Structure 1
Amino acid sequence: MSITASMVKELREKTGAGMLDCKKALEETNGDMEESIVWLRKKGLASAGKKAGRETSEGVIAAFVDGNHATIIELSSETDFVGKNEKFLQLADSLVKSAHNFKGDVISEFLTSHHGKATIADLIAEHIAVIGENIILKKLKKISVPHGKIIPYFHNRLTDNIGKIGVVVAFEGEVNEEVEEFGKQLAMHIAALKPLALSKSSLDANVVEKEKDVLRAQALGSGKPADVVEKMIEGRIRKFLEEIVLLEQPFVVDGKTKIKEIIEELQNKTKSNFTVSSYIRYEVGES
């Protein structure tokens, strides 16, 4: 009998298996829905749907860097054991490369795009069935510079481009060997110190205002005059910014020189006209 798209869709909704597998099952069973479910179960492909609601707090960060363009993803799993599974790591590598070639970084649109004859969502569903755990593509982002280089770093590295923490830093301008070496150290710094923003100007103003409100309430409780309170707040905000803004942070290598000062010194020393234009830091399980 003729296998229709609606039949494939119905079987997919019942089993969670990939569309190509559903079509194959229906063809093998002459369109019998119940027999198709049995066929898929025997192949180990009918369990993905049942696993789709499980919580995923483990997994990996994968990145693909192509000169001055990069893509980074978080692929999550239920357990750390699966997060280190070779098939899971191969899936992460395949997904980040497919995402890099995909136009845009909207996850829902990427999932409906095609990987060969199947969709990305189908590919993930097939791996859920085989691996036996829920798998979710949680994050996807891209970074690029017109002229320059993107430098990656992975903490708890599992493969060349996969780890538990992933960082990509974009350098705009002239990037020689010395600048690139600094870039590697800076990426490690970002992995360790978790800055919230590149610069004070790029930091969400609401973050600063909320911190000021907290500090003001604490200071006013001390009974000090209002003018003294405001000076106290100014000093504490400077300290706060040093903790969360990358360019204001003390470099992790020496613990005292600010990142922006290190950059200025390197620019003068190497006569290189470069800037740190942006970065992305992903860590498994972070919101």
Structure 2
Amino acid sequence: MAITAAQVKELREKTGAGMMDCKKALTECEGDIAKAVDWLREKGIAKSAKKEGRIAAEGLTRVAVSGNTAVLFEVNSETDFVSKNEQFLGLMNTLQEAILANKPASTEEALNIQTAEGTINDLIINATATIGEKISFRRVAVVEKADDEIFGSYMHMGGSISAVVVVKGTEDATVAKNLAMQVASMAPKYVSQAEVPSEEVEHERELQLQMMKADPNMASKPEKVLVGILKGKVDKHFKDQCLLDQEYFLEPKTKVSQFLKDNKAEVVTFVRFQTGEGIEKREENFAEEVAAQMAK
């Protein structure tokens, strides 16, 4: 039977589900609104749709290694409490197995991976419905290594931060693990300053130059000295952002570059995920919330 726009509108208003989901539900239930509501609830779509506007900035990251492949992914929840329950941790385990087996190239590709219980997207929707909070699969990264390279991986506090490092020149797993801990704790953006994009370097150079021009103490200094000061300021800015220039966390007087040299090792690449990084958390104002409720 033909499904009308009015029926879709009514079902959307009752459930908060998306238009296409409502149309599909009505088609499956031959236009019966009540049955369509139940159909959406059974699929977990009605409940999860109403939670789409909430901010999920808690949750966990995960790093896992199998052979020459390492994967990192992040799943968010609304509260830290939920990320510790057995159902959420079971979801993380299922996703880990599926992602390692399929090596998705993007988050969208990951969401379409088929598991024994449906796609990963289906699992996320069902988790949202049964756990009672908005659950979201945020991102994924797949890292491959060569046979003569090794992985170092580390998860901090069960997954608040996850890091993986590809190292070559050594077979010492402790060296690789310590480098992953360095990445997790010190959050570098690049391996070395050679990786910093030229436009980023130029932007920082111009910023430091403007600050120097505004500093009266710089006015009397020779041009040659000013050039050296400018270079020093730019280098200092990028020092903490580049892994090789950082102080080694176990030996603060030693740079990571020296630690690598002492162990005849080299960092090829690294990836670091921190739960909720970059997500703007909503600031709740209790007084405003109460006032809004009283006005209804």
Residue 39 of structure 1, CA deviation: 5.8
Which of residues 220, 225, 248 is equivalent to 1:228? 225
Q: Flag the 1:127–1:265 CA change in 2: closer, same or farther, 3 A.
A: same
Q: Retained in 1: the 8 A contact 2:154–2:163?
A: yes
The 5 A counterparts of 1:228-247 are: 228-247=225-244
Task: Write the deviation string for residues 21-61 of structure 1: whole angstroms up to 9, x where unpaired.
Answer: x88x998x777342231365489763111112211111100
2:274 aligns with: 283
2:251 aligns with: 254
The 5 A counterparts of 1:52-201 are: 52-116=52-116, 118-147=118-147, 148-157=149-158, 163-175=159-171, 179-201=172-194
| CA–CA separation in structure 1 for the residues paired with 2:43 and 2:277 | 35
1:207 aligns with: 200
Residue 208 of structure 1, CA deviation: 1.8
Q: Flag the 1:227–1:78 CA change in 2: closer, same or farther, 3 A.
A: same
Q: Flag the 1:71–1:226 CA change in 2: closer, same or farther, 3 A.
A: same
1:266 aligns with: 263
The unaligned stretches of length 5 or more in structure 1 are: 2-10, 158-162, 268-273
Number of aligned residue pairs: 260
Residue 15 of structure 1, CA deviation: 4.1
Q: Flag the 1:242–1:43 CA change in 2: closer, same or farther, 3 A.
A: closer
Normalising by structure 2, we get a TM-score of: 0.78
| CA–CA separation in structure 2 for the residues paired with 1:261 and 1:231 | 25
Residue 262 of structure 1, CA deviation: 1.1
| CA–CA separation in structure 2 for the residues paired with 1:105 and 1:57 | 23
| CA–CA separation in structure 1 for the residues paired with 2:180 and 2:34 | 53
Normalising by structure 1, we get a TM-score of: 0.80
Residue 167 of structure 1, CA deviation: 0.6
Q: Retained in 1: the 8 A contact 2:117–2:123?
A: no
Residue 145 of structure 1, CA deviation: 0.9
| CA–CA separation in structure 2 for the residues paired with 1:198 and 1:259 | 10
Residue 166 of structure 1, CA deviation: 0.5
SS in 1 for 2:272: strand
- Kindly, what percent of the aligned residue pairs are identical? 32
The unaligned stretches of length 5 or more in structure 2 are: 2-10, 279-296
Q: Retained in 2: the 8 A contact 1:215–1:233?
A: yes
SS in 2 for 1:51: coil
Task: Write the deviation string for residues 219-248 of structure 1: whole angstroms up to 9, x where unpaired.
Answer: 122224433221101122232232110011
| CA–CA separation in structure 1 for the residues paired with 2:189 and 2:53 | 31
Q: Retained in 1: the 8 A contact 2:162–2:274?
A: yes
| CA–CA separation in structure 1 for the residues paired with 2:71 and 2:44 | 32
